[in-house]
C-alpha cells in the first residue's frame, strides 16, 4: 500500500478532504443548533418571565436556582451552548434584578446576582476531572493560582464567618475555574473561538444600545437602583443625560470591562453587525467615562497592532478610521460632547481629580499594611454581616494588588500572582498571533486586564472572568496549533 500507490492525484484529494473537514470543524457547530439545548434555554426564559408577571418576588429564588440547573444540563450535554449561556447570564442578571426590585422593593442581599457565579462554578467538574493531569497538559499557571485560592479559603474558614467566606470564594474561584475549563478543552478551540466572537459581537450590540438608551432616557428601574444603592458620587445623577453608563451590568466597572474586551474582540470579527455594534459600543464606552478601561483598550490596540501581520494591521487601521467616522459626529451632540470632553480633560489634570486622589490616598494608607500581612486575612475579609440589618455587605477595595495581599497574604499571593505572571510570559511568546487575530486579541485583553489591577480589582468577579477566560483561550489556541503542527 503506501503513499506511492495512492499517487499524486490521490494525495491531492486526501489533502482537500482534510482541509474540508477542518473547515467544517471550524465553521459548523452542531452543538449550537441543538433543538434540545435551545428548548431548555427558551424554557428558562419563559419560566423567568412568567414568574415575573405572576409574582415578581418568586424570581429572586427561581432565577438563580433555574440558572444553575440549566447550566448543569448544558455543561453535560451541550458544552458550547453552555459557554454562551454563561456569558448572557453575566450580561443580563443585573438588569433582571433591577426590574424585580422596581416591582417588589429593594433587596439589599442582591441574591439574584449570585446566578452568574453559580453558572460559572459548574466548571468545578472540569477541575475535578482534569486536575491530576493538568501539569502534564501545561496547566501549571492554573495549578499555582488554585493553590493560592485554596490557601485563602482555609485561612478564611479559620478567621471569618462561613457565609462571607463562601461569597468571597465565588468571587475568586469562578474566574480561574472557567479559564481552566476553556484551556483544558483546547481540542475544541475553533468552535469555542467562533462562539465567543459571536457572543461578544451581540453582547457589544445589546449592552451598547441599552447603554445609550439608559443615558438618554434614564429608565425608572435604573433610577431606582441608583437611588437605593446610593452610588451618586460614582454613577451620576438619576436623570436623563446625568448618568454614567453601566447598561445591563451591575455597575460601571463590570460594564467597562465587558465593553473593553468586546471592542477589542470586534477587530477579529466580520459581518454586517460589526458597524452598528461598534457605533453603539464605542459611544456607550465613552459615556461610561471609565478612564481605566479607556487606557486598557488603548493598550490592547497597541498590543494587537504590534503582533499581527501587516495585512491585518491595515485592516485594523481601516476599521478604527471607519469607527471614528461613525462615532465622532455623535460626539458633537451637546449633552454627549459635554460629558465626554469633560472626562477627557480630567486626564490632563489627574492631580486634581477626586477619584485619583482617593486611590492614591488608599495606597498611601494601606500599601505598607497589606505588604506586611504575611499570612493574610483569608476569604471573607472583604465581606461582613451588618449587625443592624443582618445582611452581608462588601467592602470595596479598588486595587487588585491590595486585595490580593490583604486576602491571601504573601503565602497565598505568591502562587496566585505567580500563575498570572507565568501566563503573561508564556502568551507574549506565542507566534500564533501572527496568523490568528483572535489569539492576538485574547492576549491583548488578558495583558491589558493585568495592567489594570493596580487601579481596579480586576482579578475577581466579572473582570476576573474576562481576564482568565481570554488567557485560557490564548493558551488553548497555542496548544491546538502545536497539535496541528505535530499531526
How large a percentage of the chain has pLDDT more than 90? 57
Residue (of 244, 229, 265, 202) closest to 113 by Cα position: 229
39 located within any domain: no
Indicate the Cα dihedral angle 12, 16, 21, 26, nearest 10°: 130
User: In this model, does residue 31 exceed pLDDT 80?
Assistant: no
Write the DSSP string, 118-171. Answer: HHHHTTHHHHHHHHHHHTTTT-HHHHHHHHHHHHHHHHHHHHS-HHHHHHHHHH
115 located within any domain: no
pLDDT tens digits, 214-250: 999 999 999 999 999 888 777 888 999 888 899 999 9
Instruction: Tell me which residue range forms the domain holding 290.
Output: 129-486
389 located within any domain: yes
Residue (of 130, 257, 145, 118) closest to 183 by Cα position: 130
36 located within any domain: no
pLDDT tens digits, 395-454: 666 777 888 888 999 999 999 999 999 999 999 999 998 889 899 999 999 999 998 888
User: In this model, does residue 70 exceed pLDDT 80?
Assistant: yes
Burial of 20 per CB tally in 10 Å (0-12, 13-18, 19+):
exposed
444 located within any domain: yes
Domain count, the chain: 1
Average pLDDT over residues 111-125: 96
CA distance 324 to 282: 9
What is the structure's pLDDT at 337? 74
Residue 438 DSSP SS3:
helix
187 located within any domain: yes
What is the structure's pLDDT at 376? 86
Write the DSSP string, 70-107. Answer: HHHHHHHH-HHHHHHHHHHHHHHHHHHHHHHHHHH---
Q: State the residue for C-alpha cell 448618568.
A: 243
419 located within any domain: yes
DSSP H or E segment with residue 377: none
Name the least confident of 1-5, 53-57, 173-177, 451-455: 1-5
214 located within any domain: yes
DSSP H or E segment with residue 355: helix 354-371
What is the structure's pLDDT at 363? 65
Could you tell me the three cell numbers for 64? 438563580
Amino acid at each position: 500500500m503506501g503513499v506511492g500507490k495512492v499517487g499524486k492525484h490521490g494525495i491531492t484529494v486526501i489533502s482537500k478532504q482534510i482541509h474540508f473537514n477542518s473547515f467544517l470543524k471550524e465553521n459548523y457547530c452542531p452543538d449550537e443548533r441543538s433543538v434540545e439545548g435551545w428548548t431548555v434555554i427558551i424554557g428558562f426564559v419563559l419560566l423567568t418571565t412568567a414568574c415575573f408577571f405572576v409574582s415578581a418576588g418568586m424570581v429572586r429564588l427561581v432565577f438563580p436556582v433555574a440558572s444553575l440547573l440549566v447550566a448543569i444540563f448544558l455543561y453535560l450535554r451541550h458544552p458550547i451552548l453552555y459557554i454562551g449561556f454563561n456569558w448572557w447570564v453575566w450580561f443580563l442578571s443585573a438588569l433582571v434584578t433591577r426590574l424585580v426590585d422596581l416591582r417588589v422593593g429593594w433587596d439589599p442581599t442582591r441574591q439574584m446576582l449570585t446566578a452568574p457565579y453559580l453558572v460559572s462554578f459548574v466548571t468545578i467538574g472540569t477541575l475535578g476531572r482534569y486536575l491530576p493531569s493538568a501539569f502534564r497538559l501545561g496547566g501549571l499557571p492554573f495549578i499555582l493560582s488554585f493553590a493560592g485560592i485554596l490557601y485563602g479559603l482555609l485561612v478564611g474558614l479559620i478567621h471569618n464567618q462561613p457565609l462571607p467566606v463562601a461569597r468571597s470564594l465565588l468571587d475568586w474561584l469562578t474566574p480561574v475555574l472557567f479559564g481552566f475549563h476553556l484551556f483544558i478543552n483546547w481540542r475544541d478551540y475553533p468552535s469555542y473561538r467562533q462562539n465567543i466572537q459571536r457572543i461578544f459581537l451581540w453582547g457589544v450590540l445589546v449592552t451598547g444600545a441599552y447603554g445609550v438608551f439608559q443615558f438618554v432616557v434614564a429608565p425608572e428601574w435604573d433610577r431606582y437602583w441608583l437611588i437605593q444603592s446610593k452610588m451618586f458620587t460614582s454613577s451620576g445623577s438619576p436623570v436623563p443625560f446625568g448618568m454614567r453608563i453601566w447598561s445591563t451590568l451591575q455597575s460601571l466597572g463590570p460594564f467597562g470591562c465587558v465593553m473593553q474586551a468586546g471592542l477589542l474582540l470586534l477587530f477579529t470579527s466580520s459581518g454586517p453587525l460589526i458597524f452598528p455594534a461598534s457605533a453603539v459600543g464605542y459611544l456607550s464606552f465613552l459615556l461610561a467615562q471609565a478612564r481605566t478601561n479607556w487606557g486598557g483598550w488603548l493598550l490592547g490596540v497597541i498590543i494587537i497592532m504590534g503582533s499581527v501581520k501587516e495585512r491585518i494591521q491595515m485592516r485594523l487601521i481601516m476599521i478604527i478610521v471607519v469607527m471614528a467616522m461613525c462615532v465622532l459626529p455623535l460626539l458633537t451632540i451637546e449633552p454627549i460632547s459635554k460629558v465626554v470632553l469633560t472626562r477627557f480633560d480630567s486626564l490632563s489634570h489627574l492631580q486634581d481629580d477626586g477619584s485619583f486622589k482617593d486611590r492614591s490616598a488608599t495606597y498611601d494608607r494601606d500599601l505598607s499594611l497589606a505588604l506586611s500581612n504575611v499570612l493574610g486575612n483569608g476569604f471573607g475579609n472583604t465581606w461582613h454581616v451588618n449587625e443592624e440589618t443582618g445582611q452581608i455587605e462588601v467592602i470595596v477595595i479598588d486595587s487588585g494588588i491590595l486585595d490580593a495581599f490583604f486576602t491571601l497574604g504573601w503565602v497565598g499571593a505568591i502562587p496566585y500572582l505567580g500563575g498570572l505572571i507565568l501566563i503573561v510570559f508564556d502568551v507574549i511568546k506565542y507566534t500564533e498571533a501572527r496568523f490568528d487575530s483572535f489569539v492576538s486579541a485574547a492576549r491583548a485583553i488578558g495583558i491589558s486586564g493585568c495592567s489594570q489591577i493596580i487601579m481596579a480589582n480586576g482579578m475577581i468577579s466579572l473582570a476576573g472572568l474576562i481576564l482568565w477566560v481570554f488567557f485560557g483561550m490564548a493558551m488553548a489556541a497555542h496548544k491546538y496549533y502545536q497539535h496541528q503542527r505535530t499531526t
